[in-house]
Amino acid sequence: MFYSFAMGLLRLILRLISRLTVYGLENLPPKDTSFIGVANHIGRLDPAYVFAMLNRNDIIMLVAEKYEENIISRILVQFVDGIFVDRYNADLNAMREVFRRIKKGGVLVIAPESTRSRSGVLLQGWDGASYIAAKSGLLILPVGVTGSGDKEVVSRLKHFRRLNVVAHVGPTFTLPELDNKNRAEQLAGYTDEIMCRIAVLLPEANRGVYADHPRLKELLVDQAAQQVMPPRVFG
């Protein structure tokens, strides 16, 4: 009951301070489906838009270990049942908890870059997301977001201007199972696949280190042949 009230309040606040335009909502898996959402990460408000857009109560959010030190962020993470994770070391406890929850049908939301991109362009992806996706076999839903960068948020709100946040949701895909040979090489390739799937949903200027990746060029050709559906606007 309290969770539903809080989520309703969150959506109301986001509508007041921003206009969220979402392309590709038809790509969202059915409500009762467990999947992994992967997205670029450009601002502190990004998780709020994830909760508002997905509108589910079984979202599994991975949160950087540094936020555990702050009592306010720690309480917020506990409220949404998030999982603190050590980004720089093998956090086996966090991984076990993630797999336990996705087996129960939850939706894992993860930023493969592992940190916010202060410039708004894609950073090098880490292998955590690709490892979980390959081990679980779940559908992967890529999302590209613009307009929610911290500097832009502060600048616009300081001048009482609403944010103009745009999210592009791409088609789902899966990764093949990992084998015991060349696992590191496999994971690196899988991470590139995930990051290129995000990059194709972003403007050219935001594709960062993946701008010239051969796989991105293939995806751009496929994207050009796809039918574009009307967006849904929140707020």
CB 49 within 8 A of CB 36: no
Among 32, 13, 25, 29, CA closest to 53: 25
Domain count across the chain: 1
pLDDT of residue 1: 58
**Domain range spanning residue 95?**
2-234
Q: In CATH, what number is assigned to the domain containing residue 59?
A: 3.40.1130
pLDDT at 2 over 70: no
Full-prediction pTM beyond 0.85?
Answer: yes
* Strand ranges for 65-208 from DSSP E: 83-85, 107-110, 139-146, 163-169
Residue the block writes with tokens 């990051």: 195
pLDDT digits (tens, 9 = 90+) for 51-80: 888 888 888 888 778 877 778 877 777 777
Task: State the pLDDT confidence band at 142, using cuts at 50, 70 and 90.
Answer: very high
